[in-house]
Amino acid sequence: MRSDRQTSGPRGWQGRSPESWGAELGVPLLELHDELPSTSDRLRELAQRGTPAFTVVVADTQSKGRGRMGREWHSPPGSGLWMSVLVRDVPERFSGILPLAVGVAVARALERMTADSVALKWPNDILIGDRKVAGILCETVGEPGEGVIVGIGVNLRPPEGGLPPELAPGVAFLEGVSGLPVAEPAVARLLLGELGRWVRPVPERLEGRLLAEWEARDCLRGRLVILDGGASGTARGLRADGALVVTLADGREVDVRAGGVRLAGVGRSPALHGAIAPRYGTGGE
Ligand code: BTN
C-alpha cells in the first residue's frame, strides 16, 4: 500500500514518501537518500538485481560522486540534483548516441526553468553562459546491450560556505541564472519527462529532430578546440554516429569519438565541478 507518511529525505523531497514521489514522477521505483557514495553505484546494485527500466536514485549529497573520465564530481548537500536513471535495452551500436540524446533531454528540461539559453558542449556538458550547469555520465551495466546507468548532476544553488574558489568561475547554478527558487522534484519531473521522450526507444543515429535539437544548442561548432592529445582545430559539428568532426590546423579532418575537447584560450584548473571555464568536467584532463 502506498504511504504518504512524512519522511525526512533529501532537501526538496521532504513531506512525502519516495513511493508517492515516484508515482508522481511516473517511475517504477524511486529511492531518495540523504547521502550515498554515488547514486550511480546504488543504481548499479539495483540493476544487477533486475530493477525495471526508469528506476531512479537521488541523493542529497554524494561522498564519491564521479564525472566523466574518472573525474570527481563535487556533490555538496542541498546544492544540486544528483540523480541516476536506468535505461534498459541499449544496443551497443547505439551507445554513442545515448549520451547525446540525454544531453538534448537535459538541455530542454532546463530551458523550461530559465530564460537564458542552454548550450550543449560535446559530448554532453550542459552550459549556461559558458558555465557548466549540468553534467551527464553514462555507464553500461550487465551484459552488452542490457542497460545503461544515466547519471545526471544539475547544479541548483551554491553550497553552504560557497564553492572552492578554483571551481567557482566555471559553474552556473540554475537558481542563480533563473533568479527564482527551484525545487528538486520539479527539476526531476522535467528531466524524466524529456528523457522519456528522447531515449525511449534509444535512438539509433543522430539525425532528424534529435540532430536539429543538438545543432540548435551546439556551442562548439565553428570554434577553435583543443583535443585531448593537444592537437587543435575547428569543430564542424557531429556525424550521425555521434562523433565530433574537427578540421585540424593542417587541414586534416578527424572524427573524435572518445574523451573530450576544450575551447582554445580557456585555461585548465584542478576544478572538480566541471565547467567550460576554467575547465570542463571534473578532475584533471
Ligand atoms: C560530468 O560532467 O563529468 C558528468 C557528471 C555526472 C554527475 C552525476 S551526479 C549523479 C550521478 N552520480 C555520480 O556519481 N555521477 C553522476
CATH of domain 18-215: 3.30.930.10
Residue 119, all three cell numbers: 548550450
Residues with CB under 6 A from ligand 1: 38-40, 62, 65-68, 71, 73, 82-84, 125, 135-137, 151-153, 274, 281-282
pLDDT of 218:
97
Q: What is the pLDDT of residues 152-211, one digit of tens each?
A: 999 999 999 888 888 888 899 999 998 899 999 999 999 999 999 999 999 999 999 999
H or E element, residue 214: helix 208-217
Question: Would you put residue 129 in left (φ > 0), alpha (ψ -120 to 50) or beta?
Answer: left
Nearest to 280 by CA among 151, 155, 114, 134: 134
Q: Return the closest-CA partner of residue 214 out of 275, 78, 123, 149.
A: 123
Ligand 1 pocket test, candidate residues 74, 141, 152, most atoms within 8 A of CB: 152
218-277 is classed CATH 2.30.30.100: yes
For residue 269, pLDDT over 50 is answered with no
**Joined grid coordinates for residue 220:** 562548439
- For residue 135, how far is its CA from the centre of ligand 1 (angstroms)? 6
Write down the residue that cell numbers 554516429 correspond to.
241
CB 60 within 8 A of CB 34: yes
Ligand 1 centroid – CA 138 distance (Å): 9
Residue nearest to atom 2 of ligand 1 (CA): 135
Q: Which three cell numbers stand for residue 6?
A: 512524512
Q: How do residues 108-151 score in pLDDT, each as one tens digit?
A: 999 999 999 999 999 989 999 889 999 999 999 999 889 999 99
Q: 234-251: string of b/e by CB count within 10 Å (b at 16+)?
A: bbebbbeebbbbbeeeee
- Residues pairing with 151 in the sheet: 84, 137
Q: How far apart are CA 279 and CA 285, in angstroms?
A: 9
Spans of all domains in the chain: 18-215, 218-277
